Amino acid sequence: MAARWITRVCVVVFVLGIAGLIVSSIAGNNNGVVLTIGAAIAVAVLALLVTSAVTADRRIDAFVEADAERIEDQIVSLVRAGADETAVRSLVRDAIRLERR
């Protein structure tokens, strides 16, 4: 919920910042005003980046693929050790179903 509000505030800062840059360039191009507006936009960008990085709940596909390969290697090693492949794969499917609940 807080991430949504931070995103909305950042969007407002972006829109007002662009408008402020346009108005300040028309009204005399005061360097102090332009730098202040630019700094506010930069802070909003950093806040949005940090919020996105902290609240990300999806894993990168490369990590998911690496986990899948590791599990497949474990299945192969269990089957080589004498376990029934069908039973092992069924156990893995059940574990995945349990994790998704």
Q: In this predicted model, what pLDDT tens digit does every residue of 24-62 receive, in sequence order?
A: 988 887 888 999 999 999 999 999 999 988 887 776 666
User: Where is pLDDT greater, at 14 or 97?
Assistant: 14
Percentage of residues of the chain with pLDDT beyond 90: 40
List the chain domain ranges. Answer: 2-55, 61-100
| The pLDDT of residue 60 | 67
Is 68 or 56 the better-scoring residue by pLDDT? 68
Closest CA to 19 of 46, 45, 2, 40: 40
Amino acid at 99: E
Alpha carbon distance 59, 27 (integer Å): 47
- Mean pLDDT computed over every residue of the chain: 88
Q: Does the predicted TM-score (pTM) go above 0.85? A: no
- Is the per-residue pLDDT at 14 higher than 90? yes
Nearest to 72 by CA among 48, 51, 53, 88: 88
